[in-house]
Structure 1
């Protein structure tokens, strides 16, 4: 029988529509603007005193809030207006200082029953939701200083191995100065360095000692800089991925800067805390009781501020050698971090600890933290942020046996163990970084963008619906139903996979609307032609859909290929447009062909009819 779908196909279409309505529904519940308060230090608790201070700060600024929530160490305060987010953040941050991180957030309002089904709203991009824009600068001067320090230690070891006697090796204004015992040994040393370290320019100087001044070449400096930027980019991307921030933008800007943009729908406070930490590890032996103070340094413990220990200045290895780090618990249930080192780091660890069994080894946590101060300039208070390096001991344990590529760090709290494992697993920053600019893309701007985008979709949709209904009559109404279903299915798909909707994505939806209508226009025009050719209404419907299918399929396939290429090679907004367009092509094929055919079959199929309400003269 012509134009009758089997029961299973009708049930399939109904199931898709119900499924789409459920998973698109969370987008009807817009999130509340909020500020989030989190301790800068992991493991710290959110006290009632801090909550009282936040309430006091908001009250002083006459900022209305509701729905105060505390989960673990994080407090969330929902605000009544998006325009109050920035004033609220500034007021609370000033009152609490650098011990707490205050960030903008969007608190979800999706009903619990939808969340239990795995449904959630679409992720909005930075241009729609607002969010944080960081401009971070790599401290190349500090990074190159560290590289030169490593060269100095390497020269000491290599020259001793070659039995080339020297009096001292020191750094002077970014150069390595080696003082040999006499000119003859200096000549041998210069030849050795020329063969093994071509990246250095050599200059001989006579004076109190036979000095050899080594200056690193500009080409090598550029290599170091490029490596530092690439490694830091990788590390920042890994850290963001570990945090689950959707569609972040992490890219290089200029010679030594990196831009990071995070959409505001994620946990921006945690992201800011992790990104802002230039954290690393240093493994050092505890100094002997009679060791010279010039070869040792004293540090406090991270968990016990009054307790200190004196460590050797010489570093065994650093977090740069860590290939994997996972938090776990020991046999007594105490938190620990299992560490895996690369071959180089493992070899050095084995060599040092083989001779140090019975001694204690410290794990030093090195953290570069921002500190905010306020100065008065021209009668106005101006905030200034400087970077402060803090080093604290997180573990000091006796070496029971020779350590190799794998060992564990103990003496941590559970939150500290998880955070340390995340930072090490994501990779250490090759060079220290600091924030030079932090901009907030206001939620009010995002709201305006959303309104304009939605208005463009509604206007385009209204025009299309009106024209289709007028020109194709009943068939036009069928196409309109399919068009609305297409948008619902598209939103449901994007919500399910966590795709990020941006302004270009909205443009993709508008384009999808046009493509979906275009498919129905082809089908309906074909049906008209079949009617003009003398076919019966039932035959015209059947032939119209069957013959138009190949044309529609070819046109959509070529567009889909272009969309896939855009997704593969594009970034940011281009990728967002490509995702929306790709899904739109698939959903429009389903609704324009299967759904409209099912509705038309329900209206006309399986019975004798003399005419079709399809407009025009047939």
Structure 2
């Protein structure tokens, strides 16, 4: 391969690495701290923030228009002028010039459309930042601070509870379903709490591992983990729901405050409350699709549900959800449904309406079938109902809290170790190998650059063991350069020319470098596969460092020597004292 081709390959590698590294650069150095805090929150928190900010902005714009509709739009809403212009063009109307406050509001049919436009703007900006974070190098708990918890699920107690209730249980299947539901329930609770990018996964047969970077209160977390899902049935007030939705369409920005409470409670009956109606989106998250006004009085508590499964209607073959109530629940439900024929009954979980259906007749006997859903909706509803009857006792087995200040201190110490180690090696190489030491210095810098790029490309987590792997890699990369330089010095001592000494030196050093690095790479791969936690982080970083150090030592360093030979017409090699 000629030198030009090698140079183009090096440029291509550096460009690809920059593309991989760019999300990390823009996240850690180009994203304001307040935006980072919002982006690291849960999707529900982002939605609430965008809605609250949009409501405030709509009120400000309306107030400005009321004072002077011909006034210019505030510079902070310059983007809204462009959005309003698009609305005029979409409607086939002439775009007003200049764009005034009144013209901006007139571009939309009602206040809800303005609210949606502005909240969408806030949401998109925060989600873009969230995507940058997801594509960047993550900081582990030992660097960012946070908490990790191991929760034990008492599956034997859950099985015993089912057997005691007289339910036939497939123990293996029950335990699998119980663990899956416990993980999903904890994920929903913790995400609702608004914690930073939590990691929640099953560990072994009966344990759940939870990792939460950032500041978190241990007592609050334990309350969430130990709490049980609240599931109940409420009667829907259809008339109040219609009136509320009409009111909300006209006063979307002033219906709820920042906490989600009604600003004017008198718009609904005193014995009712407003709840969001949610469904699962494509990502499995709760997505609000509307509001329902439901009675405060609980018609039936979820604790009376013994089991739930997805079936099919005998006549239409459409999916339905069948659940079985205990004796007390069957009596309560039969009396209630008999008294409210033709009305709608909502299924509420964690203060969210997950589904509602019309009561066609009194439901007695304790067996209830809910129809009117697609298969996916029915499966989602089954999961909601399972929250009540898959009662798995959870206990915190271990808990570790790392303060943010300790994490920040660890980052500074890690950076200091890398910089000091790198500078010490650079000084040694420059003193001992003189001009050739420059090649080693450049190779070291590129080595770290490539390593960080690969970490960013695969969205890997950077921890203290990972930093240790980097520092070890710096020493290994220098070792490869030392082998090459010593081989070149041996050839120069024999009286060979610069070009001949370089060619023979690199050729003789090639397999020595490859043998040592291949064995190290194999060990790192086994550690990454068999190890967990900090051991795995160290092994992954070491494996990446092995690849990058071989590339910089054999490819980049050789290219630099050849560049000096061909471009600067060097005939001698500055590679040590006495040569």
Normalised-by-shorter TM-score class: 0.5 to 0.7
TM normalised by structure 2 equals 0.56
Confirm or deny: 8 A CA contact 2:231 2:348 kept in the other structure: yes
2:210 to 257, 260, 274: 260
SS in 1 for 2:293: coil
* Equivalent position to 1:533, from 494, 499, 507: 494
Per-residue deviation at 1:432? 4.7
Change (3 A) 1:48 1:422: farther
CA distance in 1, matches of 2:206, 2:228: 16
Q: Quote the offset at 1:564 in angstroms.
A: 1.3
Q: State yes or no: 1:547 paired with 2:497.
A: no
Structure 2 residue aligned with 1:133: 148
Give the C-alpha shift of residue 8 in structure 1. Answer: 2.7
- Offset from partner CA, 1:275-332 (integer Å, 9 cap, x none): 787548799999xxxxxxxxxxxx99954342657459874843xx579xxxxxxxxx
Match of 1:615 in 2: 576
Structure 2 runs not aligned, ≥5 long: 57-124, 237-271, 276-291, 312-317, 326-336, 362-368
| Structure-2 separation of matches of 1:363 and 1:116 | 35
Instruction: Work out which of the residue numbers 11, 14, 19 in structure 2 matches 1:17.
Output: 14
Q: Residue 538 of structure 2 aligns with which residue?
A: 577
Q: Is 1:122 aligned to residue 137 of structure 2?
A: yes
Q: Residues of 2 paired with 1:564 and 1:275: CA distance?
A: 36
CA distance in 2, matches of 1:275, 1:227: 19
In the alignment, the residues of structure 1 paired with residue 231 and residue 48 of structure 2 have an alpha-carbon distance, to the nearest angstrom, of 21
In structure 1, the partner of 2:29 is 29
Structure-2 separation of matches of 1:424 and 1:489: 50
Note the C-alpha offset of 1:537: 1.3
Tell me what 1:564 maps to. Answer: 525
Q: 2:406 aligns with which of 422, 445, 470?
A: 445
Going from structure 1 to structure 2, the CA distance change for 1:472 and 1:565 (only over 3 Å counts) comes to same
What displacement does 1:408 show?
A: 6.1
CA distance in 1, matches of 2:352, 2:523: 52
Q: Structure 1 363/116 Cα, relative in aligned 2: closer, same or farther at 3 Å?
A: closer
Shift of 1:153: 4.7
Match of 1:84 in 2: none
> What is the CA–CA distance in structure 2 between the aligned matches of 1:111 and 1:360, rounded to whole Å?
41
Q: CA deviation at 1:491?
A: 0.9
What is the aligned counterpart of 1:147 among 155, 162, 167?
A: 162
- Per-residue CA deviation, residues 56-95 of structure 1 (Å, 9 max, x unaligned), is xxxxxxxxxxxxxxxxxxxxxxxxxxxxxxxxxxxxxxxx
Q: Any conservation in 1 of the 2:198–2:210 contact (CA below 8 Å)? A: no
Q: Does 1:510 align with 2:471?
A: yes
Aligned to 2:118: none
Question: Per-residue CA shift, 1:129-152, capped at 9, x if unaligned?
Answer: 1123345464779735641454x2
Task: Name the residue aligned to 1:304.
Answer: 293
Task: Specify whether residues 228 and 421 from structure 1 end up closer, same or farther in structure 2 by C-alpha distance, changes over 3 A only.
Answer: closer
Q: Does the C-alpha gap of structure 1 residues 143 and 513 become closer, same or farther in structure 2, counting only changes over 3 Å?
A: same
Deviation at 1:474, TM superposition (A): 1.0
Is 1:464 the counterpart of 2:425 in the alignment?
Answer: yes
Q: 1:454 corresponds to which residue?
A: 415
Secondary structure of the 1:615 match is coil
**Higher normalized helix content (fraction of residues):** 2
Q: 1:7 aligns with which of 4, 7, 12?
A: 4
Cα contact 1:237–1:250 (8 A) shared by 2:
no
Matches within 5 A, 1:293-442: 303-306=292-295, 310=299, 315=305, 317-318=307-308, 321=309, 364-367=347-350, 394-397=355-358, 407=375, 409=377, 431-433=392-394, 440-442=401-403
Q: 1:247 to 1:597 in 2, by over 3 A?
A: farther
Name whichever of 500-509 and 552-561 sits farther off.
Answer: 552-561
**Residue of structure 2 equivalent to 1:475:** 436
What's the offset of the Cα at 1:493?
A: 1.6
| Rounded Cα–Cα distance in structure 2 between residues aligned with 1:125 and 1:424 | 36
Q: Report if the CA contact (8 A) 1:246-1:500 is conserved.
A: no
Structure 2 residue aligned with 1:413: none
TM-score, normalization: structure 1? 0.53
**Superposed displacement of residue 365, structure 1:** 4.1
TM-superposed deviation, 1:404: 11
Alpha-carbon contact 1:281-1:365 (below 8 Å) kept:
yes
Measure the CA separation in 1 of the matches of 2:453 and 2:359. Answer: 57
In structure 2, distance between residues paired with 1:49 and 1:606: 61
The answer to whether residue 559 in structure 2 is matched with residue 598 in structure 1 is: yes
Residue 485 in structure 1 maps to residue 446 in structure 2: yes
Partner of 1:353: none
The count of residues paired between Structure 1 and Structure 2 equals: 420
| Structure that is richer in strand per residue | 1
Q: Secondary structure at the match of 1:553?
A: helix
Q: Take 1:256 and 1:249, find their aligned partners in 2: how far apart are those partners? A: 14
| Structural RMSD (CA) | 5.8
Distance 1:116 1:600, change over 3 A: farther
Q: Secondary structure at the match of 1:29?
A: helix
- Name the CA distance, whole Å, in 1 between partners of 2:46 and 2:164: 31
State the shift of 1:559 in Å.
Answer: 1.2
The CA deviation string for residues 370-402 of structure 1, in whole angstroms up to 9 with x for no partner, is xxxxxxxxxxxxxxxxxxxx8977412357999
